[in-house]
């Protein structure tokens, strides 16, 4: 048999000790103050549950003592609001080494675009027989980019020239009237007819006397009378013809010949324009961004089965940054505002800029207003560090550029 264990002689713990053992352990102090409201709420909730279960809530100051015990010794500083971060003042230098001074009010990211980008397209349809450019090449205004086959247009120009010359001669003829020789011819024919009429009149008078004396028959008299009347009508007709020769063409005929000449001149101008457009020249001084055609291609500005353009050209000395400024920040941006621009490819190079314009309509989908910032690119850096479609960061300053309007106009020229 197993001997019974001896009874413990330790007295049972008191009620206050059992209550103290039920309390939560004191948490470690934290540096932040955001947990204090949660601890207080937990303590009050535990007391409420204990009292609802029929228990007796201990002395209330003990709960507050527990709460105070977990509070940090140092006052908790409020957390910084992430939406009101301040931008540091800019201290970078530009390509000329001058520091950027002024208060920064906003920074935004955008993309570099040319101020003027032209899609060079042919005006006429033809095959390319000469191509004189490559992508990235710098060309001057008037440089011959390409030459098209002009066989058809030369023939059209020759035909229009001939029609114009014929219409011009007809107009001159109508204005100058009849030639002197034509007038003399008409007058001679009239005089001849008048002589024949006088002879016919004398013959008619003699036939009349003989007929009255019944020497000749009535048929002879009638023949003489008919000849006389026919000559009278012929003289009247020749008089009218002579007057027309003297007066020249009618006014309406003169106006018609003038209209024919204007139509022929218009056809000649159109033919000359089409012939001239077989030689395609650079419209501006700039850099070829894209090459869209090759030698031998059939270019047609209205068809889809051939090339519709030759190239894209832009002046890289006149660049802008296209930005979308959120509506909450657009009040910080104004025209002719001083800016600094840094590309993402070369962040150590900063360029002067000025707000050229705020677009008149906002983008509802983005909740933003488009803004353009014009850059100042040194001549020796044109096309080297800043290229179209590059990302760039623009820093906006609180100050306004002096003579900003005249500066923008001078850059545009």
The verdict on 251 and 194 lying in the same domain is: yes
CB half-sphere exposure, 196, CA atoms < 13 A: 18
Q: Is 389 left (phi over 0), alpha (psi -120 to 50) or beta?
A: left
**In this model, does residue 29 exceed pLDDT 60?**
no
Q: What average pLDDT does this structure show over 382-411?
A: 82
Quick one: which of 320, 280, 344, 246 has its CA closest to 146? 280
Q: What is the pTM of this model?
A: 0.57
Domain harbouring 294, CATH code: 2.40.50.100
Kindly state whether residue 400 falls inside one of the protein's structural domains.
yes
On whether both 407 and 331 belong to a single domain, the answer is yes
What is the pLDDT, as a whole number, of residue 408?
A: 59
* 295: pLDDT strictly greater than 60: yes
- State how many domains the chain has: 4
Domain that holds residue 364: 104-116+315-412
How many helices (H) and strands (E) are present in the chain, helices listed first?
A: 8, 14
Same domain, 378 and 399: yes
Above 70 in pLDDT, residue 368?
yes
Q: What is the pLDDT of residues 209-259, one digit of tens each?
A: 888 888 888 888 888 889 888 988 888 888 888 887 777 777 888 888 999
Q: Do 187 and 215 fall into the same domain?
A: yes
Residues 321 and 346 in one domain: yes
Neighbours of 337 (CB within 10 A): 23
Q: Do 253 and 178 share a structural domain?
A: yes
Answer yes or no: do 202 and 263 share one domain.
yes
| Structural domain includes residue 264 | yes
3-12 average pLDDT score: 50
What's the length of the chain? 413
Q: Looking at 66-75, 167-176, 302-311, 383-392, which range is the least confident one?
A: 66-75
Tell which residue, 109, 89, 108, has the closest CA to residue 99. 89
Task: Give the pLDDT confidence of 123-148 residue by residue, as tens digits.
Answer: 999 999 999 999 999 999 999 999 99
- With cut-offs at 50, 70 and 90, classify the pLDDT of residue 47: low
Q: What is the pLDDT of residue 342?
A: 94
% of the chain with per-residue pLDDT over 70: 72
288-312 mean pLDDT: 81
Average pLDDT over residues 7-13: 53
Residue 288's pLDDT is 94
Same structural domain, 302 and 195: no
**Is there a domain that residue 5 lies in?**
no
Q: CA nearest 164: which of 67, 272, 23, 76? A: 272
* Residue 329 is assigned to a structural domain of this protein: yes
Residue 89, domain member (yes or no): no
Same domain, 261 and 406: no
Q: Is a pLDDT exceeding 80 seen at residue 351?
A: yes
Sequence-separated (6 or more) residues with CB below 8 Å from residue 334: 355, 358, 400
pLDDT tens column, 80-114:
333 333 334 434 444 444 444 579 999 999 999 99
The answer as to whether 24 is a domain residue is: no
Calculate the average pLDDT of the chain: 79
CATH number at residue 381: 2.40.30.170
Same domain, 185 and 258: yes
The reply to whether 79 falls in a domain is: no
Q: Select the more confidently predicted residue: 159 or 172.
A: 159
Residue owning tokens 């509070």 = 71
Q: CA-CA distance, 413 to 409, in Å (whole number)?
A: 6
Task: Establish if 291 belongs to a structural domain.
Answer: yes
Which of 35-44, 110-119, 397-406 holds the top average pLDDT? Answer: 110-119
User: Are 225 and 288 found together in one domain?
Assistant: no
Range with top average pLDDT, 211-220, 299-308, 341-350: 341-350
Answer yes or no: do 65 and 111 share one domain.
no
């Amino acid at each position: 048999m197993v001997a019974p264990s001896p009874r413990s002689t330790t007295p049972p713990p008191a009620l206050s000790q059992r209550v103290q053992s039920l309390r939560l352990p004191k948490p470690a102090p934290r540096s932040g103050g955001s947990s204090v409201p949660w601890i207080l709420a937990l303590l009050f909730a535990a007391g409420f549950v204990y009292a609802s279960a029929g228990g007796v809530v201990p002395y209330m100051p003990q709960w507050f003592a527990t709460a105070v015990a977990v509070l940090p010794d140092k006052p908790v500083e409020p957390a910084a609001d992430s939406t009101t971060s301040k931008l540091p003042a800019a201290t970078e230098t530009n390509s000329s080494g001058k520091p950027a001074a002024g208060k920064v009010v906003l920074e935004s990211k955008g993309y570099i675009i040319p101020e003027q980008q032209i899609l060079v397209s042919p005006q006429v349809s033809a095959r390319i027989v000469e191509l004189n450019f490559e992508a990235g090449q710098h060309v001057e205004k008037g440089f011959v980019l390409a030459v098209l086959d002009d066989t058809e247009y030369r023939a059209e120009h020759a035909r229009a020239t001939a029609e114009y010359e014929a219409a011009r001669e007809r107009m001159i003829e109508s204005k100058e009237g009849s030639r002197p020789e034509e007038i003399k011819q008409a007058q001679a024919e009239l005089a001849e007819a008048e002589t024949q009429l006088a002879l016919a009149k004398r013959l008619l008078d003699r036939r009349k006397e003989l007929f009255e004396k019944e020497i000749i028959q009535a048929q002879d008299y009638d023949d003489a009378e008919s000849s006389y009347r026919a000559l009278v009508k012929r003289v009247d007709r020749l008089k009218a013809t002579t007057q027309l020769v003297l007066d020249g063409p009618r006014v309406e005929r003169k106006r018609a010949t003038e209209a024919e000449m204007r139509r022929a001149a218009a056809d000649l101008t159109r033919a000359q324009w089409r012939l001239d457009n077989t030689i395609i020249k650079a419209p501006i001084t700039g850099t070829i961004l894209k090459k869209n055609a090759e030698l031998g291609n059939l270019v047609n500005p209205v068809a889809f089965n051939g090339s519709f353009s030759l190239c894209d050209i832009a002046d890289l000395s006149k660049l802008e940054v296209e930005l979308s400024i959120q509506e909450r920040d657009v009040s910080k941006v104004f025209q002719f505002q001083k800016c600094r621009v840094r590309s993402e490819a070369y962040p150590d190079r900063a360029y002067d800029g000025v707000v050229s314009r705020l677009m008149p309509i906002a983008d509802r989908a983005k909740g933003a207003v488009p803004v353009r910032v014009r850059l100042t690119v040194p001549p020796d850096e044109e096309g080297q560090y800043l290229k179209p479609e590059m990302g760039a960061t623009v820093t906006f300053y609180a100050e306004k550029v002096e003579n900003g309007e005249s500066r923008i106009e001078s850059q545009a020229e």
